[in-house]
Amino acid sequence: MWTQCWLDYNNENKNVSSYEDYFTTLFVDGFKKDEVITTASDELSLASKGMFGRAIDVDIALPDKGIVIKKSEERTLGKEGYRIYCEGSRAYIEALTPEAVIYGTFRFLALVRTGALNGDTDITEIPENPIRMLDHWDNMDGSIERGYSGNSFFFENNDVIINDRTRDYARLIASLGINAVAINNVNVKDAATDLVNPRFIDKVRQMSDIFACFGVKLFLSLNYAMPIEYEPQSADPLDEKVIAWWKNKMKEVYASVPKLGGFLVKADSEGRPGPFTYGRTQADGANMLAEAIRPYGGIIIWRCFVYNCQQDWRDLTTDRAKAGYDYFHSLDGEFDDNVILQIKNGPMDFQPREPVSPLFGGMKNTNQMLEVQIAQEYTGHQIDVCYLIPWFKQILEFETYMNDDPESDTTVAGIVSGRARNVSLGGMVAVTNTGNDENWTGNDLAAANLYGFGRLSWNTKLGAEEIAREWIRLTFSDADGETEDIITRILMGSWPTYEKYTAPLGIGWMVKPHDHYGPSVDGYEYDRWGTYHRADWEGIGVERGPEGTGYSLQYNSPNKEMFGDPKTTPEELLLFFHKTPYKHILKSGKTVIQHIYDTHFEGYEEAKKMQAAWDSLEGRIDERAFKETRRRFELQVANAREWCDIVNSYFYRKCGIADEKGRKIY
Ligand code: GCU
């Protein structure tokens, strides 16, 4: 059996007893019979059984006490907003649509379980982002690309699995307000081809129906090159035969899966064919599919992860960081209105720290979505603890200076939510971190990233610590205040610590190639992926200012000038933007090389402190979670040690400058 993460109602603490009266009766007011409303009422009953040992009675008239799910008349709530309030002995969940009732119901239960509901409660919450999505990189054979928590729970032995876990997963993500999920790997053509073919289409429909009961739309990753293998023998987006083939395919797919949200596409990327293969633009490719899917209300989510992955390390002018902007920004305004560009947070690839992609703020008339990765590919494989929400908040708050209008919110959050331009398509997506492990996310603490991403994509103003504490209260519901503080401190310190013991000052990479866990300073230096640190005996960093690759020029002013000059570049990104001498003095008064030594020793010490803090929780939290996480902390400390040793001795040997503090570096 698997855990229910933050939705386990069976291990509640005393907090909830004061709410017992609400859980006597449920009255649904104004909504017709509907499968989504049924899901909400089942959830309330399940919670009641877990918390108070009995189901809720469903009443046909307004009860004196109980929960009322009410159809609202308040148009401003939109299709996903809700209002929760208490009146006497009744608690109300009001919304315009059944989907919003689901979100409101889960929120109501979270308020109850964290003791945050009271007689004065009257909250209205409307999601900030239209699309709040999770992308799975699950393959038909059951493996998961960059999966660190077991195998897929969607696929096994080249078949689709539908079981209780499917429903439990839909429930988990709906509780966060997630409203879209792509279940198959965008990198592998097999699943993308199979799932839209007759053999599996019925199972895809069943899956989509299960998700729909929770207000979540199913998406599939699509094989853009698919018609090459069929009669058109081409994927040229302007070829009539290809266009007709896709129209027909979409008709067939939507006849079987009418609730499908649309498709996610990776084309012209890392070996996958795309419109470039035929001398066409990315907009030609995306729009062709968008037209085919338009009659069914579907959308095409088009990834911008397009770059030359066959670079020669001797070529000092090509810069992978520039590729996304170079390929897409001149197409601004050319994408159909049912296309969304899915843009990775940084210009490279999910490193622990990167500047925000200049495509945000570089396209004024294109739907955009922010893509982050909670699968910890470069942030510790869900062995090392790395709570990413503080990092995501910095990305969302980044000011792009997209236009001069002081009224418009041109931060990344403003752009992707559609606020900056008043459009209704956009949002946030995470490459997700779940698998068929008992606890869903491998490391129990990695569930905080899933929880946090969901909550943040609903409301980007929530604080990273606030979210962490909420997750802890719901997950370790018997935890006392001190336990909560200890886990909060571990989570909040974990990303800075991880950054310290891995690659310094924004340079990134230095990981073991392909696997991406553990250090290998030169692992990617002479490889074809365009990921360099350019360290020599004098200094380290890639010169991306105006005199270098010119990457900094892709930003709007004043970011352009700020990143273009080493004096004004934020130091945490210094080596990303500038080749810097080891003896350069940072604001702290330390040289770059001393900073590298110090942060690596500190990172290792901090990892040990986190481990000790976790050990102090023995007997105070669920035993399974305690032991499993303790095992991972042992590995994390060993990893931090290895990084510290290898990075420090690499740079010591490169530059010959000794550690001022005289510590042993080999
Ligand atoms: C990274 C990752 C790949 C993945 C790619 C993507 O490069 O290592 O496994 O294919 O991102 O985002 O598509």
CA–CA distance, 600 with 500 (Å, rounded to integer)? 6
Atom from ligand 1 closest to the CA of residue 431: 12
Question: Is 647:600 a contact under the CB 8 Å cutoff?
Answer: yes
Q: Which atom of ligand 1 is nearest to the CA of 269?
A: 13
Å from CA of 274 to ligand 1 middle:
16
Q: Which long-range contacts (CB under 8 A, 24 or more apart) does 464-473 make?
A: 464/387, 464/389, 464/390, 464/393, 464/492, 465/492, 467/389, 468/387, 468/389, 468/492, 470/110, 470/114, 471/6, 471/447, 472/448, 473/113, 473/114
Query: Which active-site residues does the annotation give?
Result: 270, 349, 377
Does 558 sit behind a cis peptide bond, omega within 30 degrees of 0 on the bond before it?
Answer: yes
- Ligand 1 pocket at CB < 6 A: 145-146, 187, 266, 270, 305, 349, 377
Sheet containing strand 82-87, edge to edge, reads 57-59, 25-29, 66-71, 90-95, 82-87, 122-125
Which sequence spans correspond to the domains of the chain? Answer: 5-125, 131-475, 501-542+579-655
User: What DSSP line would sit under 34-90, residue for residue?
Assistant: -HHHHHHHHHHHHHHHHHHSSPPEEESS--SSEEEEEE---GGGTTT-EEEEEETTE
Q: What is the pLDDT of residues 536-553, one digit of tens each?
A: 999 999 999 999 999 999
In angstroms, the CA 508 to CA 656 distance is: 22
Mean pLDDT, residues 3-31 taken together? 89
pLDDT category of residue 14 using cuts at 50, 70 and 90: low
* Highest CATH level, class, for 5-125: alpha beta
Helical (H) or strand (E) element with 627: helix 623-655
Which residues, other chains included, contact 394 with Cβ-Cβ below 8 Å and sequence gap of 6+? none
Mean pLDDT of 307-330: 93
3-class SS at 421? coil
Q: Report the CATH number of the 131-475 domain.
A: 3.20.20.80
Among 185, 342, 349, residue to substitute to test ligand 1 (most atoms within 8 Å of Cβ): 349
What number of other Cβ atoms are within 10 A of residue 392's Cβ?
Answer: 24
Nearest CA to ligand 1 atom 13: 187
Residue 438 has pLDDT above 70, yes or no: yes
d(CA 569, CA 576): 10
Pocket test for ligand 1, best of 305, 342, 374, 524 (most atoms within 8 A of CB): 305
What is the whole-number distance in angstroms between the Cα of residue 81 and the centre of ligand 1? 34
- Ligand 1 atom, smallest distance to 371 CA: 12
Cβ burial of 14 (10 Å; 0-12, 13-18, 19+) is: exposed
- pLDDT at position 593: 98
Q: How far is the CA of 135 from the centre of ligand 1 (A)?
A: 12
Is residue 429 within 8 A of residue 131, CB to CB? The reply is yes
Which atom of ligand 1 has the smallest separation from the CA of 186?
A: 13
Cβ within 8 Å of residue 409, ≥6 positions away: 419, 420
Q: What's the gap in Å between 635 CA and the centre of ligand 1?
A: 25
Ligand 1 mean position, distance from CA 186 (Å): 9
Percent of the chain surpassing pLDDT 90: 92
Site to probe by mutation for ligand 1, drawn from 138, 139, 146, 272 as the one with most ligand atoms within 8 Å of Cβ, is: 146
Does residue 505 come out as left (phi exceeding 0), alpha (psi in the -120 to 50 range) or beta?
left
pLDDT at 404: 77
Model pLDDT, residue 577: 98
pLDDT for position 625: 95
Residue with tokens 């979210």: 467
Residue 268's nearest CA partner among 286, 282, 284 is 282
Residue nearest to atom 7 of ligand 1 (CA): 349
Taking residues 185-209, report their average pLDDT.
Answer: 92
Over residues 162-166, the mean pLDDT reads 97
Q: Which of 95-104, 155-164, 208-217, 401-410 has the lowest mean pLDDT?
A: 401-410
**CA–centroid distance, residue 514 to ligand 1 (Å):** 10
The atom of ligand 1 lying closest to the CA of 373 is 12
Q: Are 401 and 410 in contact (CB under 8 A)?
A: yes
Ligand 1: which residue has its CA nearest to atom 11? 349
- Residue of minimum CA distance from atom 1 in ligand 1: 349
Please state at what angle helix 464-475 crosses helix 389-397, rounded to 10 degrees.
Answer: 150
| Res 181 pLDDT > 80 | yes
Region of residue 463 (phi > 0: left; psi between -120 and 50: alpha; otherwise: beta): beta
In this structure, whether the domain defined by 501-542+579-655 belongs to CATH 1.10.1660.10 is answered with no
DSSP SS3 for 350: coil
